[in-house]
Amino acid sequence: MLDIQFIRDNSEKVKKAAEDKGRDPKAVDELIKIDEKRRQLLQQVEILRAERNKLNKEDIKKGQEIKKELKKLEPELKEITNRYDELMLMIPNVPDKAVPAGKDENSNKEIRKWGEPAKFDFQPKDHIELGKELDLLDLDRGTKVAGFRGYFLKNEAVLMQLGLMQLALNHLILKGFKPMIPPIVVKRQPLINTGHFPWSEVDVYKTFDDEKEKDIRYLAGTAEVPLVSYHSGEVLKEKDLPILYAGFSPCYRREIGSYGKDTKGIYRIHEFMKIEQVVICKNDMKESFEWLEKLASYSEEILKMLKLPYRVMMMCSGDMGEPQIKKYDIETWMPSRKNYGETMSDSAMGEFQSRRANIKYRAKDGKIKYVHMLNNTAIASPRILIAILENYQQKDGSVRVPQVLEKYVGKKVIKHAA
């Protein structure tokens, strides 16, 4: 959420940001008008309440007049305030000036790449064929049991996925991150705090106790959701910043917004496992952008350990999401796609999430400020298994295990069962 004073002072910039991110800029104009009306009403109500508090018991007539006026104004103020709150949540963050303008992925900018895409002297197979032949993946029974996009991981693929999680977690602990296993069934507010709501509510699973939808809970699509709210409503100390969390969790996404895309295989699925990093730092954009680069480098180090070719892309304004100021996607080479596929996302949010979650810190000079927040995917599986299986496949149909995962899988090569 943006500061209302910033919105007032920079209305054209905020409207352009909304338009660039595919949102209605008219909401900014409505918000400013509603805010002006809200402040006028609030002032009137506060004056009347103050007058009422000063009245003597003898001033019955005057007290009745004030009560009557408040009875008219207070419901109006409540209605206006509710609309104000709704609109504040609908205004997206303003991209950094370095972010390229554009509507979709075609305007994203390549920052750097590492490694050479795999070249084969045989006809390579995709991860679906490899997974089936090596008894690592069962999509047919997955669909039978779970419906569209359901899957079973099997045998060495299970060991590889768990090994990837442990590898990434160990790597981040060495970088100073605190490992966390957070709750993934959450209340509504944490999804508002991260900025997933109101925009992406259609993509989130929810559960409730009865047909009246009481006691609604949501299945989070990333550990970012609970971790961002871990310190909600708190005032931290500057000396304790930055705070670094590495959350390991299952993740659940309906993927409604991506209907019809990547319908085969395990690239776009409803449930998966992930290690997500969340950084809470001082209110300083220079420091935030330094952390953005560090977070990207940690994911890159993991991909280098796996010896997987990748590239880092800066997202354009229309492809970066509403809460972000600046965002990188790290894409890994996937032979069957003849292209890179997104495997990590690295985002700087500024105050956007901390204002929603009300997370502040007391600076050394005694001032209270909102913290800055960032998040990044260290590893997500089974999507990363696509890159591993396809890049490490051999002519005889077997798949080599990346050296750093051999101790988790217990072998160097995955072969056809005898």
- At residue 62, φ and ψ (nearest 5 deg) are -65, -40
Neighbour count for residue 113 (Cβ, 10 Å): 15
Q: Which of 299, 355, 383, 390 is catalytic?
A: 383
Q: Which of 149, 200, 229, 253 is catalytic?
A: 253
Residue count (the chain): 418
Q: Which helix (H) or strand (E) holds 206?
A: strand 205-207
3-state secondary structure of 17: helix
Q: Which of 268, 311, 337, 362 is catalytic?
A: 268
Q: Is 49 one of the annotated active-site residues of the chain? A: no
Q: Is 356 one of the annotated active-site residues of the chain? A: no
Neighbour count for residue 306 (Cβ, 10 Å): 21
Q: Is 8 one of the annotated active-site residues of the chain? A: no
Q: Is 268 one of the annotated active-site residues of the chain? A: yes
Beta strands at 413-414 and 399-400: parallel, antiparallel or unpaired: antiparallel
Contacts 24+ apart (CB under 8 A), 70-77: 70/45, 73/41, 73/44, 73/45, 73/48, 74/45, 76/41, 77/38, 77/41, 77/42, 77/45
Q: Is 345 one of the annotated active-site residues of the chain? A: yes
Q: Which of 249, 317, 336, 345 is catalytic?
A: 345
DSSP single-letter state for residue 399: E
Q: What one-character-per-residue DSSP string does 112-159 give? A: EEES-----SS-PPPHHHHHHHTT-EEHHHHHHHH-TT--EE-THHHH
Active site residues: 253, 268, 342, 345, 383
